Amino acid sequence: MKQQKVGGSMKKRRLGSLEVSEIGMGCMGLSPGYGRIPPEEESVATIRAAYDAGCTFFDTAEGYGAALHGAGHNEKLLGDAVQGFRDSVTLATKFHFTGDAPEGTDGVESCIRDHLARSLKNLRTDHVDLYYLHRVNRGVPVQAVADVMSRLIGDGLIRRPHPGMGPVTSGREHARRGARRRPGLGGPESLQHARARLRT
């Protein structure tokens, strides 16, 4: 599909090897989570309007909207919206281990690959630019997650710079441990929840 060019102007910042708009768009509010949600066509139009204004960084997660619409609801909205300019934007999404922790190295890798495959299908793309561990499962060694992430980068399913730890309260130390296992895998680290706690 022919890629459209971004219409608006916005300052850019470097995120590792990526260049992203200074203001990104978190898409969680387009799925259940913050009260009333808009109709899907309005959500898609909102994402496209943000792109037209110069936004090139969009954040989602497999779990946004899952309680009412099933896993991947928010990713599907974003995937539909960016068709026509996918290659001009940075897409970030997140996964978390659901249910019992997978056992063994093969179990962890199989689980993460399954999550990523579903996200790629939802987003209608063959790779994500940033992939986060959204919630820590203390039954899964973060070093094992780092190993899998490294292989996913090598497979071209995650674009560099690298995946990171998501907005988890205890994510900072987990990120450091993952980085020690696989140098370069420690960031970016999201502080969304830490900032959210400051809201009144």
CA proximity to 145, closest of 159, 129, 155, 134:
134
Residue holding tokens 């990104």? Answer: 24
The residue from 51, 64, 131, 132 that is catalytic is 64
Whether 64 sits among the annotated catalytic residues: the reply is yes
Measured CA to CA, the distance from residue 150 to residue 163 in angstroms comes to 8
CA Rg, the chain, in Å? 16
What does each C-alpha distance from 144 to 147, 157, 181, 189 come to in angstroms? Answer: 5, 18, 9, 18
Measured CA to CA, the distance from residue 189 to residue 153 in angstroms comes to 17
Measured CA to CA, the distance from residue 24 to residue 186 in angstroms comes to 21
| Residues designated as active site | 64
